[in-house]
Amino acid sequence: MSVSSTPPAHDGAAAPSAGQASPHHPQPQHPTQQHPAQPQYPAPQYPAQQYPAQQYGAGSYGYYPGGPVGYPRNELAVWSLVLGLVSLVLGCMYVTGIPAIILGNRAKRAAEAGEADNPGLATAGIVLGWISVVLGVLLTVALVVVFGMAAAFVQGLRDAF
């Protein structure tokens, strides 16, 4: 999972050498590979390529020039937290509590693999998910017990009179 996925930006100098050309030497390839018939215009067509957002292609340069670029699995922890919060609001808590736990665990693994930087949100989602599941089980058991006792009480009254 972590081998083929996108590493964070601070690993960019070492990681791309595995499966592609080093990002520090992209310029010499363009005249020979893509523009063999126009050798007189090699470099000026790609001024932005001097400082590319290296492993994320042309779509990301310029947006976050200095900051960390791209944690592609950050949404896992956010979904876990949201589902955990929603499960506290819902009457049927398991429906979103259990997915919150599953997604939170996946988000933690993604954070360990360097694909996300928000393991705190994942922990919150897991904790909220567990709280809602335990609360849901307790409420269900309590309701069954209360209704069972009420039914037995009514039955006892009917038997007595």
Partner 1 sequence: MPGLQRRPLPVPGAGGAASGPRARLSRLRAPGAVAVAIAGATCWLALVDPHTPGQYGVCPLLALTGLYCAGCGGLRATHDLAHGDLAGAWAMNPLLVLAVPLVAVLWARWAARRWRGAPVPPREQPRLWPAWLLLVVVVGYSALRNVPALAPVLAP
Q: Which stretches of the chain bind partner 1, using CB under 8 A?
A: 1, 4-6, 16, 19-21, 23, 26, 30, 34, 52-60, 63, 69-75, 78-79, 81-82, 85-86, 89-92, 95, 136, 139-140, 142-143, 147
We find the least distance from the C-beta atom of residue 156 to partner 1, in angstroms, to be 20
Q: CB within 8 A of 76, min separation 6: which ones?
A: 103, 104, 106, 107, 110, 116, 122
Closest distance between partner 1 and the C-beta of residue 48, in Å?
A: 11
- Decide whether 89 or 160 has the Cβ nearer to partner 1: 89
User: What's the CA gap between 8 and 49, in Å, rounded?
Assistant: 19
- Nearer Cβ to partner 1, position 37 or 161? 37
Nearer to partner 1, 141 or 156 (CB): 141
